[in-house]
Amino acid sequence: MSREREWWLRVLAVLSSPRAVFVALRETSQEDLDARSEPVLALVLLAGMGGVLTTSTAATLADNPELDALLIAIWTFIFGGIYGFVGYFVIGGALYLGARAMGGLGDFRRARHVIAFAAAPFALSLVVLWPVEIAVFGRDLFRSGGDDSGTSATVFTALEVGFALWAATLLLLGVRVVHGWTWWRSLAALGLVVIFVAAFAYLPSVL
């Protein structure tokens, strides 16, 4: 089996057998890095699209009557890509700095790849959860004051939170496995990630 095929299979395997996938991320040969570049790209794009749909901006897109279903889909693709890649580099950079602060030896690229594979639940939500939500609520899902409330909406919100917690758990596991750390040391590194990301978000307001 080619390395490229192995890494495409790991895109799915990270959802069921994540430890083995994160162990594989320890490999730093150029051949292996090249083989996982396209799977990482796909994960970042799909996860970004799944993530951008949870934003307040997405929830009001249909307020503009000129935006039909096709344009909303195009918006999701374009801004989902931007959302995903900003997160990939910003959170990846924060993870790199956090890991270095805790004595980690990995490079920036490996930190980004950990982020990409940990984001797999967001990619899964795009193809599993969001089609169901759209089928149930239609354009109301993207309209302020739409008929997307009640018990059904609460259930879907809980599922969205569940996917986010799943991704956070994968990230914690990924840091632990890639660096060979204890749970507490891995959690401390992620605490630093939160601090770095919060500082990055706050910086524009003081400039």
The predicted-structure confidence for 51-76, as pLDDT tens digits, reads as follows: 999 988 888 898 888 888 899 999 99
DSSP 21-71: HHHHTT---HHHHHHTHHHHHHHHHHHHHHHHTTSTTGGGGGGSTT--HHH
pTM across the whole model? 0.91
Q: How confident is the model at residue 207 (pLDDT cuts 50, 70, 90)?
A: very low
Phi and psi torsions of 95, nearest 5°: -65, -40
Phi and psi torsions of 68, nearest 5°: -90, -175
The predicted-structure confidence for 1-49, as pLDDT tens digits, reads as follows: 688 999 999 999 999 999 999 999 999 889 999 999 999 999 999 999 9
Distances (CA, A) of 139 to 58, 80, 133, 157: 11, 18, 10, 17
